[in-house]
Structure formats: C-alpha cells, structure tokens
Amino acid sequence: MTRDQRYPREIAIVAFAQTDHTRSSAELSEVEMLMPVLRQVLGQTGLHTGEIDFTCSGSSDYLAGRAFSFTMALDGVGAWPPISESHVEMDGAWALYEAWVKILTGEAETALVYAFGKSSPGELRDVLSRQLDPYYVAPLWPDSVALAALQARTLIDAGETDERALAGIAARSRTAAQDNPHAQLRGSAAPDVLLEADHLVQPLRIHDTPPVSDGAAAVVLAAGDTARRLTDRPAWILGLDHRIEAHSLGVRDLTDSPSTRLAAERAGLFETGVDTAELHAPFTAQEIVLRKALRLDDTVRINPSGGALAANPVMAAGLIRLGEAAARISRGDSDRAVAHATSGPCLQQNLVAVLEGEAQ
C-alpha cells in the first residue's frame, strides 16, 4: 500500500525544532521560551508566520497554574491580523493530529504545530494527579511516580522484566542522549551502580523516572508538492491514529497497551517494517509495554534521541518523538520510523505515527 491510497492527501513533517530542555527556565516566560523555537522551525522552511495556513498548539494550564496560559504564547506566532488557530489541552502530538486532519480535509496546505511545558513552577507529581478521575482517585492524591510504580510491579510480577532490566533501559536511553544536544540528562552510570540507589516509590528508583523538564518544540507540516518544495527529504506520514483505554486503572491490564496496538494497526505499522522507533515512555517499564504492543524486535533502533527519560517537557515530549523521528528521516539516518506519544497515567492515551522518507 502506498501513502496515496490510505489517505486523500500526502502530508509530511518538513521541519522540527526544540529548545535545550532544562530543569528550570524561570528567567523566561512561556512565550520567551517558545519564540526561538518558532523562529528556528520557520527558518528551516523559509516560511513567514503569515504564510502558515493553520496553527495548533498543545499545553496545559495546570503546569503554570494560570488560566488560558496558551493565549500568552500566541504572541509568539504573530496572531494579528487574525489567523486560523486552535489549541489542545494535551501533548502537542495531539495538536499535530488536529493539524494533519485540517490538511487532509483540504482546509490547509501548511500547518505550524507547537507545544510547551514549564514543569518548574509547581510540584509536577502533584500537578499531574489533578488529571485523574475526580470522584474515586484524585481525592487520594496518588502522584505520577506512584501510578507508574504500580504498572512496573505488574510487569515484574508477570515475569516480563525486573529491576535490573529497567536500569538497563535507563542507562541505554541516557547514553544515547549523549548525542542529543537538547537533552537534559546525557550519559548514565552503569546499571549496577544505578541499582545501588534507594527506591523513590518501590519498585522505581530515580533512574526509572523522567527528569522534570521545561521546554518547547515545534514542527511544520505540509501537503504534497508544497512539502517537496520546503525540504529535500520530507518525512511522509504513512499513517497516524490515536486511541484511549478505560479511565479506571483497576479494569485495565497494566502489562499491556491495547490502545497502542490498535492505533498502530490503524496507522499501518504492522503492514510495514521500521528501522527506528521514538517511543514516549516517561518511565522505564513503559518501554517494555510499548515494545510488546508495537511488536518491535531487536532490529529496531529504540529512542536514539534518549527519549523522555532524557528530557520530559510535559505536553511537548510526545510531539518531540514525532519531530525526532522525522528529523532522522530528513537527515537520511532512517528510511521508515514509528513515533509514539502518550498522555495520562500508565499509558492512558496513545498516538502512533508511521513516517517514511522517499528512496535515497
């Protein structure tokens, strides 16, 4: 199957930029943090803000503690005179999905998608607990690390991993991030050394958890010949889909991710091989779940960027997976890649994209 048959239009990621992700960017407002990234991503294509047909962003007010914080960031995209614009209170990967649909329907030829998250103003573990079921779960204030630890325990109990294997995932990811100038954590001690640390929430140690990050990212999407004009090697979106699990953790099998599998199937992943995977697995054990759901074997290079274990700007980390996968295709380091984004506790929502570069 070619990409022309699956969808009415060819659409590609043609540019990607991200900040250097840091523990705190307190000196910058959100728009100040975001603006250099927007300049860079537009600069890669030669487009001006006024030439973009559709703009879509992802962010969350709960990170900054201010209502409508995304409207401030709009100053960075030149929103006057009025532009066609939308926002999702989700990771920017879902903003990319909205922009992709906008182009598919013929409403736009080009789209700018950006996402930002400043985790530093608040206590991220507590902040994320406010996205949980407000009747039965949120009143108990279970934090994000605790919920990930429950998932890790189910995998260990099922014999699918152990604490040493999880340390290996952390070490491999952060060692890979040594080649990523934007990553926050670059390099790692050996797994044996990591295992000497105390547990944060047992069975997870600090290395099993993502860094708390501030950062932003942006991509440009374009259709057909516009994409070919804007870049030498567009990262064509062969398929894109997102799915969700039942919201109650207690009805789910936490060792599996049927929503990821279904999204991957609908995105066409199982019809075609990939050489690279950018997985949004903020916690080490989640990589085990995703590898299984996406049927990735040892021939696939997993998270050469270091993934979310190396930098996790909340609301941007998923969009970065799509951007990193696309950038590898554009550079010629990959011919076909799968990118995954997640949102919510224990891989609640999952988005899968299959990207491809033309034969070199």
Partner 1 sequence: MPDILSAPLVVEFPFTRSLGPVQSAFLTGLRERTVLGVRTSDGSVLVPPVEYDPKTAEEIRDLVEVAPTGTVTTWAWNPAPRRGQPLATPFAWVLVRLDGADSALLHALDAPGPDAVRTGMAVRIRWAAERTGAITDIACFEPGEGQPDTRARPHSGQFAEAVTGITAPARLDYTYSPGRAQTRYLDALAGHRTIGERCPACRKVYVPPRGACPTCGVPTDEQTEVGPKGTVTTFCIVNIKAKNLDIEVPYVYAHIALDGADLALHGRIAGIPADKVRMGLRVEPVWAEDGRYPDHYRPTGEPDADYDSYKELL
- DSSP letter at 313 equals B
Written as six digits, the tokens of 359 are: 């034969």
8 A C-beta contact, residue 132 and residue 344: no
Q: Examine residue 239 and tell whether it contacts partner 1 (CB under 8 A).
A: no
The 296-325 site mask, x for binding partner 1 (CB under 8 A), equals ------------------------------
Q: Which of residues 132-151 bind partner 1 (CB under 8 A)?
A: 134-143, 146-147, 149-151
Sheet containing 85-88: give its strands across: 85-88, 54-58, 110-118, 214-223, 11-18, 235-244, 349-356, 336-343, 276-278, 301-302
Three-state SS at 243? strand
**Nearest Cα to 103, choosing from 240, 229, 269?**
240
Q: Examine residue 153 and tell whether it contacts partner 1 (CB under 8 A).
A: yes
CB of 237 to partner 1, least distance (A): 26
The 19-58 site mask, x for binding partner 1 (CB under 8 A), equals -------xxxxxxx--x--xx---------x---------
Q: Examine residue 202 and tell whether it contacts partner 1 (CB under 8 A).
A: yes
22, 34, 185, 300, 312 from 174: Cα distances, Å: 15, 25, 6, 18, 12
Q: Examine residue 199 and tell whether it contacts partner 1 (CB under 8 A).
A: yes
CB of 125 to partner 1, least distance (A): 7
Cα 220–87–326 angle (5° rounding)? Answer: 25
Pairing of the two strands 349-356 and 110-118: unpaired
Written as six digits, the tokens of 271 are: 């019809």
**Nearest Cα to 201, choosing from 160, 239, 145, 254?**
145
Q: Closer CB to partner 1, residue 73 or residue 183?
A: 73
The 325-354 site mask, x for binding partner 1 (CB under 8 A), equals ------------------------------
CB of 141 to partner 1, least distance (A): 4
Q: Which of residues 243-262 bind partner 1 (CB under 8 A)?
A: 246, 248-251, 254
Chain contacts with partner 1 (rule: CB under 8 A) = 26-32, 35, 38-39, 49, 62, 64-65, 72, 74-81, 120-123, 125-127, 130, 134-143, 146-147, 149-154, 157, 198-199, 201-204, 246, 248-251, 254
